[in-house]
Amino acid sequence: MKVIKILVLAFGLAFAPVKPAGAAVTLTGAGATFPYPLYSKMFSVYHQKYGVRINYQAIGSGGGIRQLKAKTVDFGASDAYVDDEGLKKFSAPIVHIPIVAGAVVITYNLPGNPKLKFTPDVIADIFLGKITKWNDPRIKAINPDVKLPDMAIVVVHRSDGSGTTFIFSDYLSKVSEEWKEKVGRGKSLNWPVGLGAKGNPGVAGLVKQLPGAIGYVELIYALNNDMPYAMVQNKSGNFIEPSIKSVSLAADIKLPDDMRVSLTNTDAKYGYPIAGFTWILVYKDLADGGLDRGKAKELVRLLWWITHEGQKYAEPLHYAPLSPKARKKAETIIKSITYKGKQLWE
């Protein structure tokens, strides 16, 4: 009997809700995995500063959007914006607030790992399975100084649906008519060739293991794994090294007011062409999302903080902070958020 009592007690303790000191608000969010390291940093700092606890589940952009639709979370997060058709499926209007931008880089595994340059048409044809050897004349032509081996190219792509794949295929659809027709853009694709691996770490791991492999990952993963990544020719004809700076530059374009914009293949002269924003999604009128007034106020304050002071945590973690232009747009969007028709930001 004593043992049972102790067990019951232990269980009770383990599952008893821990009440924070003071009547703190807890906000819940779910969505994209790509900005998760940044969000967890930002949210923990925010909690220490303002006592607001933010519970963020990195379940994937699709899941985040679904949960926001079902109103089970206070905010969603996504690496791909919701298209016009998708917006119609929400019971009330939502807004997209850009948080940071990221780059998708092309990484490979070759003897000696030389620095390679790629043109858009070569990238498309490699991933379409039309260029199958590393010493193909077209790769040689743009990399005259590199000794390319007579090796088969093994394409590695994401097997799970992902924002990274969305950005990459969005780019390829813009630079290649054939890609647009045969494959198109999306988070999961019908890949013409190659192996699939789960997550950025999966692709990075498989490329590292397979001699002759080529794949695409978020910049952070290439940096953390010491993997080589290619310079890519942008729309203006310049070969651009992916970096926080060249991603920020890619966003230096005319931005739409709702910020639902793709940063791939932009007109920016020195911008890296395979990049994208990541967004936080909330209902335009937070009462529609089932929030009470107190929570709604805190959420708006959090969004303002993330797009302002919070931005300084982006660069150390290899995310590109918002450009002044993008931040201005974000400010306007945050100010437009209401609660029962009344503006919340003060």
- The residue from 77, 175, 204, 206 that contacts other proteins (CB under 8 A) is 206
Binding mask 84-123 for other proteins (x = CB under 8 A): --x-------------------------------------
**Do residues 326 and 46 make contact, with C-beta atoms less than 8 angstroms apart?**
no
Distance of alpha carbon 329 from alpha carbon 87, whole angstroms: 20
Task: Compare residues 77 and 344 and give the one whose CB is closer to other proteins.
Answer: 77
* Residue 278 within binding range of other proteins, rule CB under 8 A: no
CB atoms within 10 A of CB 20: 12
The residue behind tokens 């089970």 is 72
Give residue 251's region: left, alpha or beta (phi > 0; psi -120 to 50).
Answer: alpha
Per CB under 8 A, does 51 bind other proteins? no
| Residue with smaller CB distance to other proteins, 279 or 313 | 279
How far apart CA 211 and CA 232 sit, in angstroms, is 21
Could you tell me the sign of the dihedral formed by the alpha carbons of 172, 65, 96, 27, in that order?
negative
Asked if 295 is part of the footprint of other proteins (rule: CB under 8 A), the reply reads no
Distance between CA atoms of residues 109 and 228, nearest Å: 8
Q: State yes or no: residue 191 binds other proteins (CB under 8 A).
A: yes
> Residue 334 is inside which H or E element, if any?
helix 324-335
Give yes or no for residue 184 binding other proteins (CB under 8 A): yes
Mark the segment that binds other proteins (CB under 8 A) among 37-45, 200-208, 272-280, 303-311. 200-208
Long-range (24+ apart) CB contacts under 8 A made by 305-314 are 305/46, 305/50, 306/42, 306/46, 306/99, 306/280, 307/97, 307/98, 307/99, 307/331, 307/334, 310/42, 310/45, 310/46, 311/100, 313/38, 313/41, 313/42, 313/45, 314/38, 314/100
Instruction: Compute the residue count for the chain.
Output: 346
Stretch that binds other proteins, among 6-14, 92-100, 187-195, 214-222 (CB under 8 A): 187-195
Cα Rg for the chain, rounded, in angstroms?
A: 22
* Among positions 60, 120, 289, 321, the unique one binding other proteins when judged by CB under 8 A: 60
**Is residue 76 a contact point for other proteins (CB under 8 A)?**
no
Task: Using the minimum distance from each CB to other proteins, give the nearer residue, 2 or 89.
Answer: 89
Q: Does 198 bind other proteins (CB under 8 A)?
A: yes
H or E segment to which residue 213 belongs: strand 213-218
Give the range of 94-102, 189-197, 250-258, 313-321 binding other proteins by CB under 8 A. Answer: 189-197
Contact between 228 and other proteins (CB under 8 A)?
A: no
Q: Is 160 in the site for other proteins (CB under 8 A)?
A: yes
Q: Which of 174, 185, 318, 329 binds other proteins (CB under 8 A)?
A: 185
CB of 194 to other proteins, least distance (A): 7
Q: Which stretch binds other proteins (CB under 8 A): 62-70, 107-115, 235-243, 320-328?
A: 62-70
CA-angle at 36, arms to 234 and 246, nearest 5°: 20
- Residue 205 in contact with other proteins, rule: CB under 8 A: yes
CB of 238 to other proteins, least distance (A): 30
Q: How far is CA 216 from CA 30, 106, 269, 282, 318, in A?
A: 25, 5, 23, 30, 16
Write the Ramachandran bin of 32: left for phi over 0, alpha for psi from -120 to 50, otherwise beta: beta
Give the one residue of 34, 35, 38, 62 binding other proteins; rule: CB under 8 A. 62
Q: Which stretch binds other proteins (CB under 8 A): 108-116, 119-127, 154-162, 232-240?
A: 154-162
Q: Rank residues 169 and 323 by Cβ distance to other proteins and give the closer one.
A: 169
Residues near other proteins (CB under 8 A) are 59-63, 65-66, 86, 152, 154, 159-163, 183-191, 194-198, 202, 205-206, 209-210
